[in-house]
Amino acid sequence: MAKTRISISLEQQQAERIRRHAERAGLDLSAYLVHAATRQMAETEAVEAQFAGVDALIAATEAEAASVPPEPDAAVGELTEEERLEVEAALGLVYGPDRTGARPGQAA
C-alpha cells in the first residue's frame, strides 16, 4: 500500500511535547501520531456505535414532534379555579407569600 504524507502545523511547545512522548513510547514521530490518531478514531467509533440506537430514537422523536401542530395559546383569563390556585402556589414558592422576592426567614 502506498503511503501518503500529511503535513500538520502546531506550536513549538506542542511539537516538543509530542516528540518526548513518542521517544518514551519507543516510536518515531510518524508512528506515534498514527497510533494516537488510530486510537482516537477507534474510541470515537465505539462511542458512536454504542449510542447509535439512542441517536436514532432522538432523531425519530424530533421528526415526529416537528409534524405535530402546536397547540393554540390559551386566552388569558381562561384558567380554571384549580389552575389559578396552582399558579398562585408556584408564584408563592418563587417570590414568597408576600411577593417581595425574599426567601422565607430572610429580610426583604
| Same domain, residue pair 14 and 57 | yes
Question: Regarding predicted confidence, which is higher, 65 or 100?
Answer: 65
| Same domain, residue pair 64 and 79 | no
Q: Convert the pLDDT of each residue in 4-42 to its tens digit.
A: 999 999 999 999 999 999 999 999 999 999 999 999 999
Nearest to 13 by CA among 24, 2, 21, 25: 21
Which residues lie below 8 Å from residue 19, measured CB to CB, with a gap of 6+?
29
Domain of 34 in residue numbering reads as: 10-68
Residue 102 DSSP label: P
In contact, 68 and 76? CB cutoff 8 Å: no
Q: Convert the pLDDT of each residue in 40-64 to its tens digit.
A: 999 999 999 999 999 999 999 999 9
Q: What is the pLDDT of residue 30?
A: 94
Query: Which triple of cell numbers denotes residue 91?
Result: 408564584
| Same domain, residue pair 51 and 83 | no
Domain-embedded: residue 104: yes
Domain-embedded: residue 105: yes
Q: What is the pLDDT of residue 102?
A: 57
In contact, 45 and 55? CB cutoff 8 Å: no
